[in-house]
Amino acid sequence: MLWEDKAILFSILLVYSSSQVLASDEIQEDGQCAELNNTRWQEYRQQRVRVEVQYLLLTRRNPDCAQKFDQDFVGKPTSYFNTSRPTKVIIHGFSALGRKPSWVTDLAQALLGAQDANVVVVDWIYGASFAYNLVVENYKEVALQISVLVNQLQQKHGCRLESFHLIGVSLGAHVAGFVGTLFEGKIGRITGLDPAGPMFKGADTSDRLDPTDALFVDAIHTDSDHFGISIPVGHVDFFLNGGMDQTGCARSRFASMYGYVICDHMRALHVYMSALNGTCQLTGIPCASYEDFLKGSCVDCGVFKGRCPAIGLQENSGIATSPIPEQQKVFLLTTSSAPFCAHHILLTLEVSPLDKSAEVEVMLSQGTEHHFRLKTEATVYRTVLAHPVTLCQIDSIRLRNTGARLYRQGDVHVKSVCVSELPLRRLVRLQQAGFLAFSAVRWTETMSHLLLSAGYANNAGHIRLVDCFLFQVLPRKRKISLIFV
| Longest pairwise C-alpha distance within the chain | 90
- HEC sequence for 241-294: HHHCCCCCCCCCCCCCHHHHHHHHHHHHHHHHHHHHHCCCCCECEECCCHHHHH
Cα separation, 291 vs 384, whole angstroms: 10
Which candidate in 165, 174, 221, 265 is catalytic? 265
d(CA 187, CA 216): 8
Instruction: Please answer whether residues 122 and 142 qualify as being in contact, where contact means their C-beta atoms are separated by less than 8 angstroms.
Output: yes
* Residue type (1 letter), 315: E
Q: Which of 260, 316, 284 is nearest to 423 (CA)?
A: 284
Rg (CA), the chain: 27
CA–CA distance, 31 with 16 (Å, rounded to integer): 29
Catalytic site includes residue 265: yes
> One of 194, 207, 218, 264 is an active-site residue; which one?
194
3-class DSSP assignment, residue 204: coil
| Alpha-carbon span 254 to 444, nearest angstrom | 43
Catalytic residue at 270?
no
Q: Would you call 20 helix, strand, or coil by DSSP?
A: coil
- Please give the Cα distance from 115 to 216 (Å, whole number): 18
- In contact, 341 and 388? CB cutoff 8 Å: yes
- Choose, from 163, 170, 420, 481, the residue flagged as catalytic: 170
Active site residue 170: yes
Nearest in space to 293 (alpha carbons), one of 264, 329, 259: 329
Burial class (CB in 10 A: 0-12, 13-18, 19+), 433: middle
Question: First and final CA of the chain: distance in angstroms?
Answer: 63
Question: Is the Cβ–Cβ distance between 188 and 180 less than 8 Å?
Answer: no
Q: How far is CA 225 from CA 78, 201, 386, in A?
A: 46, 11, 22
DSSP letter for 437, please. Answer: T
Please list the active-site residues. Answer: 170, 194, 265
